[in-house]
Amino acid sequence: MTNYTIKIPVIITAPLDNPQRTYNNMVQQVTDTIANYNNSPIDQRVIVLYRKKLKRKTIKSIELINNTLPDGTPVILMRVEEYKTGHNDVYLQRQAAQEASVDSTDQLGSKKNYALLYPLIFFHEDGTVINRWCAFIYDDPSKDDSDVKNTIKTVLTRILQYKVKSVLASSVTEKINQVGAVQQIKASYVTLQNDNNEDAVLQQYEVRFKHQDSKEVVYEGVPSQEAIGFINNRELDGFQKKVISVKVSDSLSYKYTYELGAQEEVALSAIEENNCYEIEVRREDINQIHTPEIVLSHLIQVVNAYASNERV
């Protein structure tokens, strides 16, 4: 029997610009901003452009469903409706009916893009307050990879005007030390060279020649201290780019990208954190996965697991 997997990645915001002292006030801020967006003229809806593609995504509307966790923390189940245009080679056919072409101006929509917003409040000894939101994204098997995450991230950054939390190297080191040993490290090395291609048959027509060398090495069960030493090693072994993926646990991984700059100096260009949980769904239950009650139960299950790991 085939089972399906619901992936639930987590996005954490940077500290909010206008912090509140209560969860209810944080919820009210989101409610007011989303209400203003839903009531705005249709031509002011947020549009997502796909790089070098004709396709466009429009955030049409957002429904908020308030709920409360057993510990009394208020949460928001967010359901986003979006549609895409710019399809030039798509048709629709239902059973024996005639094919119907989808034009570039036709809207192909999706009403069930879910995320659970979980509020965080930190009180410092000096009296200052920090607010963040955790967004638990419901990436179910019926969606294209990363499409729901892109939709929710657009709502967070362009409608709610939140920044996404940056990852500090020191915090990554601390978490790796806590686990004793990481599950897996995958190191990918790439060299891109623009050389003269003297052997090209059509050399007189050539405008560019790219040669790529690469290698990939996978390690498992690496002790924390050795893992940290490997991650911080900037040697590229003659390559121009190194990407290190570190799987700390089943739900937490990091990606480090090192690149060779113009001055022949190796720079750490990015650290990405990926919190992602998975829930298995039986084939016979697949038609129920978009029911709000089912969505909420799955997401609350992940919220509890996330909180128990003290990653917030």
Burial class (CB in 10 A: 0-12, 13-18, 19+), 298: buried
Determine the pLDDT at residue 53.
Answer: 79
**Mean pLDDT value across residues 117-137:** 93
Task: Write out pLDDT tens, residues 36-91.
Answer: 999 999 889 999 988 767 889 999 999 999 999 988 999 999 999 999 999 888 88
Q: Which CATH class is domain 3-165?
A: alpha beta
Nearest-angstrom CA–CA distance, 207 and 54: 27
The chain-wide mean pLDDT, for the chain, equals 86
Specify the higher pLDDT residue, 44 or 92.
Answer: 44
How is the chain split into domains, by residue range? 3-165, 169-199+207-273
Determine the pLDDT at residue 311.
Answer: 41
Kindly state the tokens that stand for 243.
């990407």
Task: Write out pLDDT tens, residues 167-217.
Answer: 778 888 888 999 999 999 999 998 865 555 455 555 555 555 555 678 899
Task: Write out pLDDT tens, residues 234-250.
Answer: 888 788 889 999 999 88
Determine the pLDDT at residue 24.
Answer: 96
Determine the pLDDT at residue 136.
Answer: 94
**Mean pLDDT value across residues 146-161:** 94
Determine the pLDDT at residue 297.
Answer: 92
Q: What is the pTM of this model?
A: 0.78
